[in-house]
Amino acid sequence: MEVSRHDIVLVGGGGAGLRAAIAAVEASPSLSVACVSKLYPMRSHTVSAEGGAAGVARDDDNLDLHAYDTLKGSDFLADQDAVEIFVAAAPKELVQLERWGCPWSREKDGRVAVRAFGGMTTKRTWYATDKTGFHMLHALFQTSLKYDRIVRYDEYFATKILVENGRAVGVAAFDMRTGKMHAMLGRSVILCTGGAGRIFPFTTNAAVKTGDGMALAYRAGVGLKDMEFVQYHPTGLPGTGILITEASRGEGGYLKNNKGERFLIEYDYGVGGKAELGPRDMVSRAEMREFQAGRGFKGPYGDYVHLELMHLGEEKINERIPFVRELAKNYVGIDPVFEPIPVRPVAHYMMGGVDTDLNGATELPGLFAAGEAACVSINGANRLGSNSLTECLVFGARSGIAAAEYAAGSTSGDEKSALEQARSEESRLERLRGKHGGEKIAQIRRELNLATESGCGVFREEESMRAGLDTVVQLKGRYADIGLTDRSVIFNTEVVQALELGNMIDIAETVVLSALHRRESRGAHTRTDYPTRNDGEFWKHSLVKFAADGPRLSYKPVKKTRWELEERKY
Amino acid sequence: MAETKLYKFEVLRFRPESDKEPVFETYEVPCMEDWVVLDALNAIKDDIDPTLSHRWSCRMGVCGSCGMLVNGRPILTCAAFVRNYSGTIRVEPLSNFPIVRDLVVDLESFIDKIKSVKPWIIRKLEKDLADGEYRQSPEQLEEFKQYSMCINCALCYAACPVLASEPEFLGPAAIALAHRYNLDSRDEGNAERFDTLNAGDGLWGCSYANECSQVCPKHVDPAMAIQQAKLTDALQWVHVLPKKNFT
């Protein structure tokens, strides 16, 4: 086993992670950060974000309006203090990215351009054509190369948070290239590992989105908050689930059913005059209702609706959303300049995550989290499109600074227990590599995907969630008996997949369990058996904690500052 | 289950602990009509041979993980539709890189070259964040935008004939990236990048075979970037232009 020592151990090198790393090294002139990531940082899933990043930029806009839109979008489950901090820091963070070379699209006068997005009252979404996440991530990665004190451990897979005297003091992670376990020791740990969209069969999410950091925190005893809230994006390509950005509607695209109707206008789905720019939960529900009413188109991957862009014209499509055109042409053989794109709701984003305070701190001293992996929460029951890229920046930076302060104010322990834990991880990895057993990784993953889909789809009800939960619990049992065929220590991706599957099962269990017990409909959590919001009983965050005999569910209050709860109608 | 068609794949395998040299292994994979080569590799991994190692993530052509040689040509396997191939489909790791295992190559030299050109904004003076963004016109953005589209997939390194014989050559992606920053109206780091670009294994090694631009999945046109950079650096060399931005 190898031992590496740094001040901060960061797991995850996407938008939030790199922002945290840069903030940490800038906060302290001598501090070093280990950036541990299971893939090269610029491959992280931030790269796939398309439409933009929200932050007040124009005179007709203000922070309170951004905050209100975000709270209303969240169906009033977001913490209002967190949202206030978020909207206030957003513009500065986006300008910071501009300083670091992000090629934001521009107005004629050279100012950064902004576009319309779902649930936002006015234009405030900064964008770099329709590859905003890609450009932000590469700007962050390239900027991070400036700092020798950001020490990258690329293609290292973290298996456990090391805890000593009740504090997080590092992680156990193995080098995928050699199979060798490393004890990555530090005085604080930050998790920026993204969400867990891969627990669902049909998702926009990259292969790496297996909830690793959420699972690490969960097993270290930290609560996972609001896990039942899974965002279904209304415009994914059937089959692949590839994301067609909301910016295509922000730029004026229409959604139409098989009767040629703009159904969001034709029927009452609660989005009012916002029509196609309603929030994602409402638009996804509307599409599902259209399917139920027989107004969807039939395809080999189920029903779909049409996203029409033809009226925008080739020039605007090429200028504003060229990637949409490229994706539609490549993956469904359709040129949106001439034909509508088939789209349907697809699992996209987890509003829930590791329970943190406003600085990304968790209940485990020394452990911080940011980005999709975390739940601060600014997204509540439904995130507004383009808030998450900004969230990565704002709370990535805050957690980086907070973790640097924590590291500066604490001393290293004797490392004895931490090294023991890492050694025990080394043995666990070795056992897994040669493990004989009757169950197959791919098979369990498929069954897990079916269980989450039937239990926690766009519409949910008691019986299917109970069945889903039973299945997940059974799969957990069967997972203990998986067999692996690859004995190699060198770039053994079967071992990685086995560990990821273990993480996915734990996360799926927290999702279905939280959903089952939230007997109301709020934001993205829509129950056919409890169709209305119930503030009296459920205006609270769910919190799931690990226990040896199964997860424990509790609740914690939502923080309110200046906004009263109202009915969510647009 | 939707209709499938059987395709034969020859996949290069190399397990350094047991193989003296790489060997091809053949797999027959039932593929759906809309599958890409990456889908077939994942099907092999899931249901035929879980010991196969390959990299992938976004499967939508933007993360840059899944570049390989398909029938000898560097391509993103998530964008290589099986229906476009006839006969046996041969999948190999990217050329011009050492093989770590199977389809996984060692990219460390690539990452080092990217870093060596200082791909970040360099300025003498920074405006305060509170003063807002630097103004940049759409035309100024257009100057470098194309060269900022590189996804670091390294296909151009696999295609480059110079790299095949001179592994130390800085290579298309790194030079294009340096050029991207040099062309950015916000940057003043041209002089700091000059020596790396003009070193012995720098841009002058390019023989303009144009292979890099042919295989680039994002139409970055690194060959063009190299030729433009040669011109500006040559003018700097003879002091016609100062070593700073020209916009």
Q: What are A104's two structure tokens? A: 């934001």
Q: What is the DSSP string of B49-72?
A: -TT-------SSSSS---EEEETT
Interval A316-358: pLDDT, tens: 999 999 999 999 999 999 999 999 999 999 999 999 999 999 9
Nearest chain A Cα distance for residue B216, angstroms: 14
B34/A239 Cβ within 8 A = yes
Q: What is the dihedral of CA B106, B107, B110, B114, to 10 degrees?
A: -150
Residue B84 has pLDDT above 80, yes or no: yes
- Residue whose tokens read 């996972």: A224
**Cβ distance of B63 and A300 shorter than 8 Å:** no
Q: In this predicted complex, what is the ipTM?
A: 0.97
Whether the predicted model's global pTM rises above the 0.95 cut: yes
CB contact under 8 A, B107 and A145: no
A522 an active-site residue? Answer: no
pLDDT value at residue B247: 39
Output the pLDDT for position B233.
86
Residue in chain A lying closest to B184 (CA): A101
* CB within 8 Å: B60 and A327: yes
Distance CA(A102)–CA(A138), nearest Å, equals 8
Handedness of CA A518, A522, A528, A529 (dihedral sign): positive
Catalytic residue, chosen from A43, A249, A285, A527, is A249
**pLDDT value of position A492:** 98
pLDDT of B38 strictly over 50 = yes
Two tokens, residue A88: 């206030």
C-alpha B45/C-alpha A492 separation (Å) is 12
Other Cβ atoms closer than 10 A to A480: 10
Q: Residue A487's pLDDT is what? A: 95
Q: Indicate yes or no: CB of B100 within 8 angstroms of CB of A490.
A: yes
Which chain A residues have a beta carbon less than 8 Å from that of B152? Answer: 40, 42-43, 138
Length of chain B: 247
Nearest residue in chain B measured CA to CA from A484: B50
Distance from CA of A436 to the nearest CA of B (A): 14
Please enumerate in sequence order all residues whose Cβ is within 8 A of that of B239, keeping only pairs 6 or more positions apart, or say none: none
> Comparing C-alpha atoms, which of B97, B23, B55, B107 is closest to residue A493?
B55
The burial of A412, by beta-carbon neighbours within 10 Å (0-12 exposed, 13-18 middle, 19 or more buried), is given as middle
CA gap A466, B5 in Å, rounded? 38
Interface test with B, best of A22, A331, A433, A484 (most B CBs within 10 A): A331
Q: What is the mean pLDDT of residues A196-215?
A: 98
The minimum CA-CA distance between B179 and chain A, rounded to whole Å, is 13
Compute chain B's Rg from CA coordinates.
21
Place of tokens 């909830």: A211
Residue B3 pLDDT: 87
Tell me: the pLDDT tens digits for A102-135? 999 999 999 999 999 999 999 999 999 999 999 9
Which pLDDT band, with edges at 50, 70 and 90, does A476 fall under?
very high
CA nearest A522: which of A202, A281, A164?
A281
A352-405 pLDDT tens trace: 999 999 999 999 999 999 999 999 999 999 999 999 999 999 999 999 999 999
- The β-bridge partners of A369 are A191
Which of helix, strand or coil describes residue B100? strand
How does residue A412 score in pLDDT terms, banded at 50, 70 and 90?
confident
DSSP secondary structure letter of residue B45 = I
Q: Percent of chain A scored above 90 by pLDDT?
A: 99
pLDDT band at B235; cut points 50, 70, 90? confident
pLDDT tens per residue, range A164-189:
999 999 999 999 999 999 999 999 99
Is residue A348 within a helix (H) or strand (E), and if so which, with residue range?
strand A341-350
Mean pLDDT of chain A: 97
pLDDT of residue B246: 42
Average pLDDT over residues A157-163: 98
Of the candidates A112, A103, A393, A562, the one whose C-alpha atom is nearest the C-alpha of residue B143 is: A103
pLDDT of residue B167: 97
The answer to whether B243 touches B194, Cβ cutoff 8 Å, is yes
- Interface-testing mutation among B25, B108, B148, B196, with chain A (most A C-beta atoms within 10 A): B148
- C-alpha count within 13 angstroms, C-beta hemisphere, residue A376: 27
Average pLDDT, integer, range A185-200: 98
A436 in active site: no
Q: Do B62 and A145 touch (CB under 8 A)?
A: no
Indicate yes or no: CB of B17 within 8 angstroms of CB of A331: no
pLDDT of B237: 75
Residues A278/A269, Cβ–Cβ less than 8 Å: yes
